[in-house]
A and B are shown apart, each in its own frame.
Chain A
Amino acid sequence: MKKLLQIQDLDKSFAGVHAIDRLSFNIFEGEILALIGPNGCGKSTCVNLISGVYIQDSGKIIFDNQCELYKQTIQERAKMGLGRTFQSPKPFTNLTVRDSVLTIALLYNKTWKEAERKTDEMLEFLDLASSASVPSGKLPIEKRKWLDMARVMVTEPKLLMLDECLAGLTPSEMDNSLSIVKRINERGITILFIEHVISAVMQLCDRIVVMNEGHLLTEGEPKNVMANPDVIRAYLGGDYEHA
């Protein structure tokens, strides 16, 4: 399998907080890779490093087998095919759902017609067509997360990083969102799925990377990872056995 993104010995500190500590893992093309770990272990920081919000202190991020990510701006990385959503949704509050997506589609398409076509297609695909003319700020939390996905999807990302796209959802809403993520992946988009709810990850993801205090604890197939005593002890503790 082809490596889409390689992270090698990545390191990042914030004024004394060692947020990412010699982290290494790969993301393979076409997979859904879960990145899990307790709160504050550095998952969001990892996404921010890949997407260019922060620049690493040391280590390498290699995209598409050849391109080393270091100097590129956030926007350059977005255009290269690195898409992300944020842990808390960031809607364009006073724009309608359709205008929000159209704005981004305009950025990636030469003609208005093409942009409008892609926008409408994406709204349909992510079950947002019925809310097209609603102001983004008025959407329920679940749909706000889908809107964030719709916006980033029209950039035609190769790798989509979803930062806790299930947080704050009820169990039935979670099922809807999971099926949406699956649908996105079926379009051939590689997904880095950040989460700290385990059950969702188990049914959705091909592989799991477990982080703890900024470093890699273990990685592998879901059932192997969950059987790993280190993971149970260090991260899941008693909770998982009870769940």
Chain B
Amino acid sequence: MSRTDRKNSLHIKSVFHVLRQNPIAVIIVLVFALFPAVCGNIYFINVVIEVFFFAALGIAWNVLGGLAKQISWSSACFFTIGAYAGIMMYLSAGVSPWISMFIGIAAACLFALVIGAPCFRLRGVFFSIATISCTTILRQCLIVFKNITGGSVGLNFGIRKNYSLWMLTFRSKTDFYYLSLIWMLACVAIFVAVKHARLGYYLRAVREDEDAAASLGIIPSKLKTKAFLISAAMMSVTGTLYVFRLGYVDPNALCAHDISVKIGLIAILGGMGTTWGPVLGAFIIIPLLELCNYYLQDFAGGGAGYALYGLLIVLIVLLRPSGLITLADVIREKMAKRKAAGSAKGV
């Protein structure tokens, strides 16, 4: 077997391994798959679509944030780049999102290189700090170059006819539901594949001790850059798919620091470096924000969402820094213990 064969078969094997290890996850995925058939309420379906997209973004964030502990607050940039690539190419030349997503990936990777190359040379928090301003810079660029980006008004698809998968124009909302579900699961698969590939091993070594890793021949900056590129590409694809559902782009809503924070928080709350953590995180944060927007609209001038982020960060750091998904391990252990105790009594 050649080296790449071996690598690929290993990735596929590890995906199956994860499925077998997580029977609960398989059941949950089945529930997701059947949900639209059971739930007739289009509002709930829309919320869950939002959850899936943000879970995908959280998983993408986790490739860099979880495996290498490089905390990025620039996620909205890559999401926005993917969205603009999709809508701009559609409006100017009728290009399918399945094509323009690759243009988005290329642009997002370029942007990630520009941020990552200088920052990853330095150790520690510099990267994290440097990422904070990126969202604002990109938004200003989008607003300034209004000839092609539509400025602060953004761009709108207008009316799209010709329903087709190729152009992601669907008759029914549930089509996008399944598309977002499949993409989220694809992101899970990519994350697992990266984690179990050489890159995943090296990244975790760098995360645990950068000096030791370097002394043994690992080049931390190179690996962090690779992880950042993968993460950026995943976010960009999410953006392209997302904009074809949304139907328009608004730079102020999309390329917002708020979105970057939301993405990071989803992964941190669910569990940094865990496979399913961001999915859980998205299922908590997105509905909570919906509730906030609905019931606390007037609270602090609409700042209830921010207050919520702050509160959640404090709580998770205090109570469960490894993330909520790790509670599942605790429960699993308890159940195993009880089982063992029960069988001991039986004898």
Contact = CB atoms under 8 A, between A and B. Distances in A.
User: Is the A/B pair a real complex?
Assistant: yes
Given A110-B3, A111-B3, A112-B6, A94 B214 contact: no
B301 interface: no
B31 interface: no
> Size range of the interface on B?
20 to 34
Interface stretch (A19-27, A84-92, A123-131): A84-92
Contacts of B211: 86, 90
Interface string A97-119: 00110111011101111000000
B245 interface: no
A104 B209 contact: no
Nearest to A48: B215
B217 A91 contact: no
A155 B204 contact: no
Nearest to B210: A90
A90 B217 contact: no
Chain A interface, >50% SS class: helix
A205 interface: no
Contacts of A136: 208
A51 interface: yes
A63 to B, nearest CB: 16
Contact of A99 (B201, B214, B216, B219): B201
B202 interface: yes
Contacts of B219: 73, 75
Interface in B195-219: 198, 201-202, 204-205, 208-209, 211-219
B91 to A, nearest CB: 46
B10 interface: yes
A33 interface: no
Interface in A51-98: 51, 53, 73-75, 78-79, 83-84, 86, 90-95
A47 to B, nearest CB: 10
Contact of A75 (B10, B198, B204, B218): B218
B223 to A, nearest CB: 11
Contact of A78 (B6, B10, B217): B217
A122 interface: no
